Chain A
Amino acid sequence: MPSTLSRRYILGRVSLYGGAILLALWTLAPLYLIALAAFSTRQATFQWPKPFLPTDFSIDTMQFFVNSRGVLDSVRNSIIVALLTIAGSLVLGAPGGYALARFRFRGKEGISLGLLISKMFPTAILSIPLAVTFLQLDLYDSLWGVALVHIAMALPFVIIVTAGIFVGVPRDLEEVAQTLGCNRLQAFLRVVLPLALPGLAAAAIFTFVISWNEVFAATILTLRNRTLPAQVLSGLNDSPLYYRYAGGFFMIVPALIFIFLIRRYLLNLWGNIVR
C-alpha cells in the first residue's frame, strides 16, 4: 500500500511540475527571443536560422530604438498618463473599496458583480463614440483624455482590490482608535491607511502596468501626443524588424519588474469581500 501511495504522489508531483514548466516556457520563450533580438546587432535580427544563444551581444539596436524620433517623448507621455491613472483611480476607487469592505447596504452584491461585468465590455465598441466625444470636449489628443479612459478601465479593478485590502484591516482597530479620541477620518488615516499601505502600493503598481500596456484607446485617442505603445504600434508597419524587437522589449521590462516586485500581493489582490 505505501509504495503505491508514494508512486501516485510522485506521479502527481511530476505532472504538476511538468505542467508548470510547460506553462513557464510558453510565456518565457517569446520573452527570451525578444530580449535576444533586442540585444543583438541590427543585422543579426535578419539571420535565419536564429541562434538561441547570445552570440553577438550589442546595445546597438536598443540605442537605435531609444534615439528614434518620438520614442523618448512617448515614454514621457506614458509615464505621465500612468501616474495620472494611478492618482485618479485610487482617489476615486479606494473610497469605493472602503465602502464595499465596511458597510452593509442595499445592492452591495449587485455592485460587486457589476464591477466585474464591466470588465467584459469591449473597448473597441466604445472607441469611436469616445473619440467623437473627446473631439467635442477638446480632450482629443491630450494626455488627460487618455488618462481618463485608463482611469475608467482601471477603476473596477481598483475598487475590488482595495475592498479586499480594507477587509484585511480588522474593524475593531478602527473602533478602538475612535474610543481613543479619533474621528472616523483620523481613525482611517492613523490606523487603516498605514496597515493598508503595502496593499495599496501594490494596487497602484498594477494600475501603472495596466495603463503602461494599454494600446487600443491610446492609439485611437491621440495623434501627436502618443504614449509608448501607441507610438510603437502606429509605426509598426513601416519600421524595421529590429525596431519592433527593441520596442517590444522596452515595453515589457517595466511591467515585468513591477509585477515581480508585487508578486507576493498579486495572489491576495483579488481577495474576496467578506460580508
Chain B
Amino acid sequence: MAGIRFQSIRKVFGKTVAADSVSLEIRDGEFMVLLGPSGCGKTTLLRCLAGLEHVDGGRVFIGDRDVTDRAPRDRRIAMVFQSYAVFPHLTVFDNIAFGLKMQGRPRDEIKRRVEESARLLELTDFLKRYPAQLSGGQRQRVAVARAIVMQAAVLLMDEPLSNLDALLRLQMRAELKRLHQEIKATTIYVTHDQVEALSLGDRIAVMQSGRIVQCDVPMNIYDYPANKFVGGFIGTPPMNFLPGVVHANGDGPTVVVGESHLAPAPAFAHALSAKNGEPILLGIRPENLTLAPNQQANTIRARVRVVEPLGSHKLLTMQVGTEISKVSVAPDQRVAPNEDVWLHFDPEKIRWMDAATGEAISATVE
C-alpha cells in the first residue's frame, strides 16, 4: 500500500548535484538503509521524498500516488530530522503529541500513544521537561518518538541514533528493529554506522556523490561490493586492495602480485583470461586473509607492522610490497611486530576489479 519509488530524481544546488538521476524502488514494508559518505546526498533524497525540497527533475511515488507536487502534509510520512528539530517552546509530551493533535485525535488516545512511544525511547521521566533541559541524546530520542508515534505508512529517519552512547544505541537499534517488525512501515534509514546498516536493513543502498552505486541485501553488499568505492567504504576495517597483473597461459590465468602468483577461482578464469597482460585490482576483506607458516599456493610475503588485540580478534597492519593491508586473525594467534610472515589468500573470497574503473569483474556463471 505504501511502497516508494524514486524515478530519475534530480536535485541541484547551484553547482552541486545533490541527486543525479536517482532511481530506487522500495517495497511496501521494506527497511531500506541509505549509506554513504558525508555530502553524498542522503538527506537531500529524504527531503525530496518528504516534500521539503522541490525536485529539479523526475517523479516521486508513494504507493501508486504521484506525490511529486504534493505538500509534505499530504504525503503521509513521518520524518526524524538529522538536526532533531525538537520544538523548544513545547514540553517533551507536547512535542511528541504535536502531530496527533494536528490530526485532531481524542485526548485519551493522544495520551496513550505518547506515553507508549515515550516508554519505548525511555523518555517517560522527561515528559514534562522542555527541550532546553535535555541532553543531546535525549533530544534526539524525542525526535524519534515524535515520528514513530504517528504510525505513518512511510517513516524517514536521518541518522536517528547518531548522538547516543554506544550502549543506548545498541538497545535503541534493537527497539527500532522490533518496532519495524511490529508496524511494518516502509522505512528509509540514513546512517553512517555500518553495523547499524547491516543489522537493520532489508536492503542497503550505497550512495556516492548524488548517485546510488549499489543497492542490495546487506550480505551481498558486504561480500560482493559492486566497485572499489563500496568495498572500501563498507566494513571496519574496509576491504584491502592490492594491484596485480594478469598472466594468462595454457593452464588458465594467474595474477602476479608482488613476486607471487595467485590462482583465481575457476569462476573467474574466463573473465580474467580476456585481460591477459592488463593491470588488475585484488580486493579482499581482512577476515579472509590468514597467516601461513610457510610458502604455499596463494601466499604472499608480508611484514607485520602493528598488532592490535581487540578482544574478539587481533587486527594486524601488514606491509605487502608497497601497500598496507589489514588482517584480522584469531585472538590467540602468536604474532609480533616486524615479523615476516606468509599471507594466505582464499581465492573464493577475492573480489577482482578493473584497475582503471574500479568496477568489479563478474564471475562467469556455469
Contact = CB atoms under 8 A, between A and B. Distances in A.
Question: Which has the most chain B C-beta neighbours within 10 Å: A175, A177, A194, A195?
Answer: A175
Interface of A: 170, 172-173, 175-183, 186, 191, 194-195
Interface string B51-77: 110000000000000000001110101
Question: Which has the most chain B C-beta neighbours within 10 Å: A180, A191, A194, A195?
Answer: A180
B81 A183 contact: no
Interface in B99-131: 99, 102-103
Interface of B: 50-52, 71-73, 75, 77-79, 81, 83, 85, 87-89, 98-99, 102-103, 146, 150
A179 B77 contact: yes
A179 B79 contact: yes
Given A179-B50, A179-B72, 16 more contacts: A170-B85, A172-B83, A176-B79, A176-B85, A176-B146, A177-B87, A179-B51, A179-B79, A180-B73, A180-B78, A180-B102, A180-B146, A181-B73, A181-B99, A183-B73, A186-B102
A175 B85 contact: yes
A182 B103 CA distance: 9
Contacts of A181: 73, 99, 102-103
The 10 tightest CB contacts between A and B, nearest first, are A181-B102, A180-B99, A172-B85, A176-B85, A178-B72, A194-B89, A179-B72, A179-B79, A181-B73, A175-B52
Contacts of B72: 175, 178-179
21 contacts: A170-B83, A172-B81, A172-B83, A175-B52, A175-B81, A176-B81, A177-B98, A178-B71, A178-B72, A178-B73, A179-B50, A179-B51, A180-B73, A180-B98, A180-B99, A180-B102, A180-B146, A180-B150, A181-B103, A182-B102, A186-B102
Contacts of B50: 179
A195 B88 contact: yes
A176 B79 CA distance: 7
Contact of B87 (A178, A186, A191): A191
Question: Which has the most chain A C-beta neighbours within 10 Å: B73, B83, B103?
Answer: B73
A186 B52 CA distance: 16
A191 to B, nearest CB: 6
Given A183-B71, A194-B89, A178 B52 contact: yes
Interface of A is mostly: helix
Nearest to A173: B85
Contacts of B83: 170, 172
Question: Which has the most chain B C-beta neighbours within 10 Å: A173, A176, A186, A195?
Answer: A176
Nearest to B99: A180
Nearest to A180: B99
B102 A179 contact: no
Contacts of B71: 178, 183
Contacts of A186: 102
A179 B98 contact: no
A41 B360 CA distance: 99
Contacts of A182: 73, 102
Nearest to A195: B89
B78 to A, nearest CB: 7
Question: Which has the most chain B C-beta neighbours within 10 Å: A179, A181, A194?
Answer: A179
Question: Which has the most chain A C-beta neighbours within 10 Å: B51, B75, B85, B88?
Answer: B85
Contacts of B99: 180-181
Contacts of B51: 178-179
Contacts of A191: 87, 89
Contacts of B98: 177, 180
A179 B87 contact: no
B250 to A, nearest CB: 65
A165 to B, nearest CB: 14
Contacts of A195: 88-89
A191 B77 CA distance: 19
A179 B77 CA distance: 7
A59 to B, nearest CB: 44
Nearest to B143: A176
B233 to A, nearest CB: 27
Nearest to B80: A176
A181 B83 CA distance: 19
Contacts of B73: 178-183
A194 B72 CA distance: 22
Contacts of A170: 83, 85
Nearest to A193: B89
Contacts of A179: 50-52, 72-73, 75, 77-79
Contacts of A178: 51-52, 71-73
